[in-house]
Amino acid sequence: MFSRLIAMTWVTALTISAFSFVSNANPLPAKAFASLPDITQVTLSPDGTKVASLQRYEHKGTAGVLLNVFNFKTRENKTLTSSDNSKFVIGWITWANNNEIFVSTHYPTNFSRTPTTQTNLLKFNISGGDPRHVIPPRVFEKNNYTPSRQDNIIDMMPEKPDEILISIRTGHYAIATNVMRVNLKRNSTKIIHKARSDTLDWITDRQNNVRIAYKLKDTKLRYEYLAAGSKGPWRSLFEFEAFSSQASNPLGFDVDPNILYFSAYHEGRKAVFKMDLSNDTSSKELVFSNKEYDINGSLVFSELANKVVGIRHNVGNSHYFWDSSFNNIANSIDSALPNTVNHIIDFSKDERRFLILATSDNDPGTYYVWDRDSRRMNAIALRYNKLTSELMAEKQPIEYHARDGLKIEGFLTRPNTKPNNSQDEPGPAIIFPHGGPISHDGNGFDYWTQFFANQGYTVLQMNFRGSSGYGHSFMASGLKDWGGKMQTDVEDGTRWLIDQGIADPNRVCIVGASYGGYAALMEAANNSDLYQCAVSFAGVTDLRKLIKNSRKYINHKIVKEQVGSNMGELKKRSPVVYSSEIDIPVMLAHGDKDTVVPVAHSHKMHKALKKHGKKVTYFEYENGTHYLSNEKHRISLFESMATFLATYLK
């Protein structure tokens, strides 16, 4: 049954991509946006003859994902496994070789009575047979210890297809990790680098040698390296305090084992550099930068050219190639698909086939395979079959100034259809601050904002101070500032939207998740006269509880550097303390297995609001996570939000 369903998914996607759609004034059901993507995690086999992906299925009222492999030569589909995201979630997939696939799964659990996420690494053979644990269970039985993270592959060993290197803990009391070599064929393991003090992770060079150790002690981060061909001693590479402007992070090696690429600040913005480790490590060469925004991403390495050719990053077209041949390839793709941002997701080892995701602010995305030999680009699937660009709203970049003069950038998404077909009249609006808070809203498709816009609401997203992407000073200005200027930046955005005549001042609601949920509740407490309602999903409500809970984890002191440590000040900046001052309806929602923001935050807020006789609605999702992995939870949340917002905004 599942294989037939998957075959239909691909054919349907190809058929849909051949037609255009007429915009419908009636909003789509919440399920169209909240359902899991129809296809994601698409990846090419090394030889380019097959593509693996996670594809949504729905069977007898239950939805989940299937791991599917499609063979371009035989046109056959094969389903290897499935999950309804209740017992476990498939986190990522990658090809081990042309015939085997690694699958990382995860689920919430408790480790020494501390909430955490358990990951496992499985291997599937596309020819059939049962999946196998990459690390044999006997390894953990021998040590009487099962580490919570088992999927940290640090080297795929492409020249040794039967082996990989994994970073893993192997003892109860050791925070540091070992480097383990796993022989996939013999199902055997061997520790090749024992844990060093405070070492959490490792980096190898292109010759598969362990070269860099990443260490964390309190708030100090340190990278050490081995000289090429050396077994020691370890030498200092980078050392800096968390959130420092001196932060430097290795990205990886070129084919020359002495050439290291790394990220560091250049004129206040993160940029890509390289250095020669055989010479003075204080010297560095700027490779790529942007004057306005940080560059964060991963290196693109060409096995055919045997060198680093560029970087996948978060600005503009999502990649930059300093290699001319790859730059020509990217230009050719953009010429063929001129109306979308075209992400090069993957390519075959011989670089004759490329996998592309073409998307935009109002285009959910189409996957294409470009065959350079046949000079054909074929659409293979849509990410969301029911969401077409004609039905989606345009996202416009905007900027406004905070009360202290700081420029705040953001995005405005306005509904396609409004009463009287007028965009000029003020209408209902949603303020939608992002989570993190050290993250940012960028361009590109966002199913949350498109859902709100499709319901008829204008959506404002702002990158308040403390967001990432705008350089060190902008990010650092948000440290220990929860509830401070980061918060008034949100308020200033709301007032700007009203002053511009875009938002009806009597129909504004604020919605957020995680830190965004915190910001929504703080706005409800500080400015109940500015909003008609507030929604918080998995929101932080008590900063004291956040800090106390972080004591169970190794990054506790870093969390204190980010949020603060003065309990009196943290109390003053916690929305639960101001529950009596909230005079607008509040909707709370939370998953009971949230390992990022424990459900106790919403429990406490709900109890406080009820105590003071406030209008509050609370939804709790059994076995729900911070990331809404289960489709039933996502649909339930979106349907509940649709009802709640319609009640107070229309």
Using DSSP bridges, classify how beta strands 586-591 and 153-155 pair: parallel, antiparallel or unpaired: unpaired
% of the chain beyond a pLDDT of 90: 79
pLDDT score for 421: 44
pLDDT score for 416: 85
Secondary structure E strands in 419-468: 427-431, 458-462
Cα dihedral 529→531→535→536 (10° resolution): -60
Helix (H, G, I), strand (E, B) or coil at 562: helix
pLDDT in tens, 145-155: 888 899 999 99
Of the options 3.20.20.80, 3.40.950.10, 3.40.50.1820, 2.40.50.140, the CATH number for the domain spanning 393-649:
3.40.50.1820
CA dist 458 and 363 (Å) reads: 18
pLDDT in tens, 534-584: 999 999 999 999 999 888 888 899 999 999 999 999 999 999 999 999 999
User: Which amino acid is present at 74?
Assistant: T
449-460: average pLDDT: 97
**Max intra-chain CA distance, the chain:** 74
CA dist 75 and 71 (Å) reads: 5
175-186: average pLDDT: 90
Looking at every residue in the chain, the average pLDDT score rounds to 90
CA dist 109 and 118 (Å) reads: 6
Q: Give 634's Cβ-side CA count (13 Å radius).
A: 22
Cβ–Cβ under 8 Å, residues 164 and 134: yes
Spell out the alpha helix ranges (H) of 60-169.
137-143
Backbone torsion region of residue 491, taken as left when φ is above 0, otherwise alpha when ψ lies between -120 and 50, otherwise beta: alpha
pLDDT in tens, 300-330: 999 999 999 999 987 766 889 999 999 999 9
pLDDT score for 574: 97
pLDDT exceeds cutoff 90 at 275 = yes
Domain segments of the chain as ranges: 393-649
Q: Taking the model in full, what pTM does it have?
A: 0.92
Tokens representing residue 628 in the block = 């809404």
